[in-house]
């Protein structure tokens, strides 16, 4: 009898669950999110052009990570701000970048962006040296609805390309 009662309870629970109103599917905001991210990238690149380390770092999540070739990862908005402020002191510093593609997850909470960048710094010979490359940025939507950079990975192109 106990087994029959368990089966009745299980069947009843399944029936109630199946008949319960399903939560409405979240609206698809990918197009709007892509526009928001592209706008953020434009402002982010402008902050680099303005040599404004505070504004530049503000696009990163609190624990955002910058993964640059041949260097230790920089994690945290404050550490990224400090590192960029140092780079921006270089009289030849010039950084510009822009997206080729922005892909937002259907859930609307994470996205990735790929694009190209150009960075000029003073080389070992004291002259301006320009590097071009590609990058991958992972964006996370914050609780306040803003998109922030979780991971930023620039990769320089091989010389001569």
Question: What are the tens digits of pLDDT across the range 142-159?
Answer: 999 999 999 999 999 998
Give the integer Cα–Cα distance in Å for 82 and 65: 13
Higher pLDDT, 1 or 86: 86
Q: Are 153 and 160 in contact (CB under 8 A)?
A: no
Q: Confirm whether 14 is domain-assigned.
A: no
Q: Confirm whether 12 is domain-assigned.
A: no
Tell me: the pLDDT tens digits for 98-111?
999 999 999 999 99
Give the integer Cα–Cα distance in Å for 118 and 116: 7
* Residues 6+ away with beta carbon under 8 Å from 153: 67, 135, 136, 137
Entry pTM: 0.82
Residue 18 pLDDT exceeds 90: no
State the total domains in the chain.
1
Residues pairing with 117 in the sheet: 97, 133
CATH number at residue 41: 3.10.450.50
Q: Confirm whether 42 is domain-assigned.
A: yes
Work out the mean pLDDT of the chain and round it to a whole number.
Answer: 88
Residues pairing with 113 in the sheet: 102, 137
Please give the pLDDT value at position 161. Answer: 58
Please give the pLDDT value at position 26. Answer: 82
Q: If you average pLDDT over residues 77-95, what whole number do you get?
A: 97
Q: Confirm whether 21 is domain-assigned.
A: no
Q: Confirm whether 74 is domain-assigned.
A: yes
Q: Confirm whether 19 is domain-assigned.
A: no
* Residues 6+ away with beta carbon under 8 Å from 96: 45, 48, 49, 117, 118
Domain extent, residue 107, equals 28-155
Q: Confirm whether 92 is domain-assigned.
A: yes
Tell me: the pLDDT tens digits for 23-54?
567 899 999 999 999 999 999 999 999 999 99
Q: Confirm whether 15 is domain-assigned.
A: no
Q: Are 19 and 66 in contact (CB under 8 A)?
A: no
């Amino acid at each position: 009898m106990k087994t029959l009662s368990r089966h009745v309870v299980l069947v009843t629970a399944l029936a109630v669950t199946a008949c319960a109103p399903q939560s409405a599917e979240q609206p698809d905001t990918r197009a709007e999110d892509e526009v928001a991210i592209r706008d953020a990238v434009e402002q982010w690149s402008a902050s680099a052009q303005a040599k404004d380390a505070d504004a530049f770092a503000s696009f990163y999540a609190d624990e955002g990570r910058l993964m640059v070739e041949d260097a230790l990862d920089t994690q945290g908005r404050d550490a990224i701000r400090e590192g960029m402020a140092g780079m921006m002191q270089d009289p030849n510093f010039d950084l510009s970048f822009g997206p080729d593609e922005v892909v937002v997850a259907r859930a609307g909470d994470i996205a990735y962006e790929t694009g190209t960048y150009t960075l000029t710094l003073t080389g070992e010979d004291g002259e301006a040296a320009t590097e071009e490359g590609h990058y991958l940025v992972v964006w996370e939507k914050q609780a306040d609805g803003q998109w922030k950079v979780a991971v930023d990975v620039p990769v320089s192109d091989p010389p001569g390309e």
